[in-house]
Amino acid sequence: MPVLVAQRGGPCAACGALVLKGERIEYTLGTGPRHLACADRTPELRRNRHAASCVLCGVQVPRGAGALAVTETCEGGAYTRRWAVSCVDFLACHERIVTGA
């Protein structure tokens, strides 16, 4: 993983503690920032920083309450990123899909 200097603060993807601006971190687009001490830990969910609709069931997911996923594609030399927010409570999400609520 690339080691970078944090340009802004935010939660560590592995431990949830605050990453300070200017701190050396490991970062990937898919997992987000992690402290160097947390580099060997598996990242937990990457949380959404903005409220959005769940891509599976459509319910409004508040800021910080969903799982964030990213896919990156390259077509004709142009890169496109697609961010998707989904519910953390998969059972409730599945129930909403099944019942159509």
pTM above threshold 0.85: no
Q: Each residue of 8-34: b (16+ CB within 10 Å) or e?
A: eebbbbbeeeebeeeeebbbeeebbbb
Per-residue tokens: 11? 């939660």
Tens of pLDDT, residue by residue over 23-75, are: 999 988 777 889 999 888 877 667 777 899 999 999 999 887 888 888 888 89
Element (H, E) at 35: strand 32-35
Half-sphere exposure of 28 (CA within 13 A, CB side): 11
pLDDT for residue 1: 65
pLDDT of residue 22 exceeding 90, the answer is yes
Return the bridge partners of 3, or none.
Answer: 26
Q: Is the pLDDT of residue 19 over 80?
A: yes
The first and second tokens of residue 83, run together, are 């961010």
For range 16-26, the mean pLDDT: 90
Strand partners, 47: 67
Q: Where are the domains of the chain?
A: 3-38, 52-99
Provide, for the chain, the percentages of residues in helix, strand and coil under a 3-state DSSP scheme, each rounded to the nearest 5. 15, 40, 45
Higher per-residue confidence, 24 vs 8 = 24
Assess contact for 26 and 1: CB atoms under 8 A: yes
Q: Which residue has the higher pLDDT, 79 or 44?
A: 79
